[in-house]
């Protein structure tokens, strides 16, 4: 039996991708300490952004299972030193920072069921951020959401997770409310 297991006709097998089990989408409401609210994944944790440039209402929605986060940055336009046009221009500059590695960038305007209109960027290639959007009411509020992975895996291996998280980001957009709207 030992001799039957050894043969000279060995052929290498192609590398496979790890199986990624994705949990069903479930959501919970963001705590009421920000000038905005939305539903985010029940499989994620909300962390305060601790970068040195972070502002009070900047958060990370951390997915420990995927080693990924959705970075949320918020600006109150009336209190901001920059104009709305400058904030939007910054979004484009940050997106354009991926041009070296992106082989495609799809930009579209999306109107959510809640009436919010957002500019959505979908990036293809070995980029650190595959999906991002910004949304504003053009008078008071500006919010930007960006997906980041903290892993060295190739994006084609991460495709199911990227699509899963895009759905979660679109759910954030669909359930986004500015606090002033809630009080009315």
For the entire predicted model, the pTM comes to 0.84
pLDDT in tens, 66-95: 999 999 999 999 998 889 999 999 998 888
Question: What residue spans define the domains of the chain?
Answer: 41-183
Q: Which residue has the higher pLDDT, 45 or 156?
A: 45
Q: For position 178, what pLDDT does the model report?
A: 95
Q: Is the dihedral of CA 42, 40, 124, 129 positive or negative?
A: negative
Tokens standing for 49?
A: 């952004």
If you average pLDDT over residues 53-69, what whole number do you get? Answer: 94
- Secondary-structure class of domain 41-183 per CATH: alpha beta
Q: How confident is the model at residue 9 (pLDDT cuts 50, 70, 90)?
A: low
Q: How confident is the model at residue 183 (pLDDT cuts 50, 70, 90)?
A: very low
């Amino acid at each position: 039996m030992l001799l039957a297991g050894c043969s000279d006709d060995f052929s290498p097998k192609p590398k496979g991708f790890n199986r990624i089990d994705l949990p069903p989408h479930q959501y919970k409401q963001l705590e009421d300490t920000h000038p905005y609210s939305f539903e985010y994944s029940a499989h994620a944790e909300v962390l305060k952004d601790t970068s040195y440039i972070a502002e009070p209402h900047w958060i990370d929605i951390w997915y420990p299972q995927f080693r990924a986060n959705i970075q949320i940055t918020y600006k109150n336009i009336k209190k901001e030193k920059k104009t709305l046009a400058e904030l939007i221009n910054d979004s484009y500059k940050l997106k354009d920072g991926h041009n070296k590695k992106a082989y495609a960038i799809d930009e579209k305007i999306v109107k959510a069921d809640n009436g919010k209109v957002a500019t959505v960027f979908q990036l293809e290639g070995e980029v650190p951020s595959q999906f991002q959007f910004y949304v504003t009411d053009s008078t008071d509020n500006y919010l930007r959401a960006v997906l980041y992975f903290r892993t060295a895996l190739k994006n084609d291996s991460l495709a199911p997770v990227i699509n899963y998280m895009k759905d979660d980001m679109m759910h954030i957009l669909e359930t986004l409310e500015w606090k002033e709207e809630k009080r009315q």
